[in-house]
Structure 1
């Protein structure tokens, strides 16, 4: 799933984004698929001078996230945060109402309006369906699409 343009994130942005993703996963308990996505993102994005993935993810500071710290972020980074947080929320198979509310609060703190949030939500949902569309069992894909639509 590739929902955003490539961008060079600073070490501070990687840490902020990883912490935002952790905050979303923690809403209803970090699930293995969420942890895997977060770990994969951090590992692939961190620079050599940043803490190892396991060290960063275990750091209580990384798990304390203040959305206000993201206020004034560039629009491209704000979009990335919201998209990655939505992907994190969906990583365990569904977007819970509490996760959606949390990501909406992050979007608001980042200055994204409701229409932009909904566009990002639709984009992530479409990417998830697209990732499944190659499966030979069309009935299963239809069931997933129905669940994604019903959950929102």
Structure 2
């Protein structure tokens, strides 16, 4: 199985929602967290509309492994969350909205779209639908295989 940090990014969602109302403004490194040797950094800002935004970054020796965001309009509002990015294989997939993520290699652009509730993922290569997969792991393995073949 090819390395992918989507599950890490998903785990960060709950923490970002918990921290958005409690974390001090600014950038903070969280020393105590359940993510092992990863560095966990939080960036908490207050927006022009007085809402709060908190971004959690999980960092490893290669850089950003995953990032999640929580926004909260008022102290009693339920935070809205989203995955901003996750690393899979050697690429960073960035959020395009609606559970769609984009990454590029030297040769191709890959788009992964999650179908929440159906537990499936669509993979597009260079804008063309490539295949559907039953898990993020199998979709990332297919990307790895495709990228390896394209590099030959």
Give the structure-2-normalised TM-score: 0.28
Whichever of the two has the greater Rg, that structure is 2
Which gives a bigger RCO, structure 1 or 2 (Cα 8 Å, sep 6+)? Answer: 1
Higher strand share: 2
